[in-house]
Amino acid sequence: MFDPGRTLTLPALQAMCTHAEKIVALTAYDASFARLLDEVGIDVILVGDSLGMVIQGHETTLPVTVADMVYHTRAVSSAVNRAVVVADMPYLSYGSRTQALVTAASLIRVGAQMVKLEGASRQRLGIIEALVDQNVPVCGHLGLLPQSVYRMGGFIMQGRDASAARRMLDDALMLQQAGVSLLILEGIPAQLATEITQALTIPTLGIGAGPGCSGQILVLYDLLGITPGKKPRFAKNYLAEGAASIGAAIERYAIEVRSGCFPAPEHWIQA
C-alpha cells in the first residue's frame, strides 16, 4: 500500500513487486524537480542520460559524459529523502569491468543507490556480475536502447518478431541471473513486456511497453509536454490534461500508474 512517509530501499521495491504494488518512476536532473518528485511520492527517480537531449539539446544521449552524470546525480540526490535514486552509466563508460567499477563508484559516491546500463551481451553480463560482486546495485535496460541508436537505425521499437522477442526474454533471464535488481523495458510490444515481467522475480519498469510491467517510468519533460521536437507516442502530457500545477501533474501521473489507468491503450503497441 502506498505510504508517502516510507523511505524506500531496494528490498522495498522488490516487496512492492512481490505484492503487485505498482512502482512509479520518473527522471529528474536537478534538485528542484527531484524535491518535488520526492514530495509527491515518486518511488524511483532516474538521473537519466536523457539529459543529453532534454537539458543539453543534443539529438541523442551519446554526448553525455561521466562528469555530466556525476554533476546531475549529486544535485538530485541532495534533494531526495524517500525515493530510490538510480543513475545512468553514460555511453562508453562501462566497456570493461575496471572502467565500469570506476564509473559506478563515482555515481554511488555522490548519492546514487543504483546504476543503470544498457544491453545483455556476454561482456555486459560479466560487467554486471563484477559490479554486483562489489555491492553495486544494477538496473538493466532492454528493448529500445538509446545508446545503440545508430546501430538500431534510430529510436525504433524492438522485439516485434518472434525470434527477437525470444532473444529478449532470454536476455532478461540472463540479466536477472547476473544480478540486476531492476529492469527497464523500453519500446517493445505490450505482450512481450508482460511475458518478460511474468518470467522474472525482479521488478520491471515499462516505458512504451504497455501496462503489464511492475511499474512505469517516463521522462519528466515528456510528462510536462516540454520535450523539444517530436513527442513520443507513449508519453502523456499531464499539464495539457488540465493539471493545475506541475506538482499536480506529477501527482496525477503517480495516481494513474498505481490505479492502472496509465498507460492507456493509445500509449503502447500490441505487437
% the chain with pLDDT above 90: 89
Residue appearing with cell numbers 534538485: 31
10-267 CATH fold: TIM Barrel (3.20.20)
Round the average pLDDT of the chain to a whole number and report it.
95
pTM confidence score: 0.96
Nearest in space to 85 (alpha carbons), one of 109, 65, 62: 109
Instruction: Give the tens place of pLDDT for each residue, 145-193.
Output: 999 999 999 899 999 999 999 999 999 999 999 999 999 999 999 999 9
Instruction: Give the tens place of pLDDT for each residue, 3-37.
Output: 777 799 999 999 999 999 999 999 999 999 999 99
Which grid coordinates are listed for 2?
Answer: 502506498
Cβ atoms < 10 Å from Cβ of 37:
28
Higher pLDDT, 150 or 2: 150
Which grid coordinates are listed for 23?
Answer: 512502482
Does the annotation count 186 as an active-site position?
yes
Of 21, 118, 186, 251, the active-site residue reads 186
Query: Distance between CA 203 and CA 17 in Å, rounded?
Result: 5
pLDDT at position 270: 66
Average pLDDT value for residue range 189-205 = 98
Q: Nearest 5°: phi and psi at 87? A: -120, 135
Q: How confident is the model at residue 271 (pLDDT cuts 50, 70, 90)?
A: low
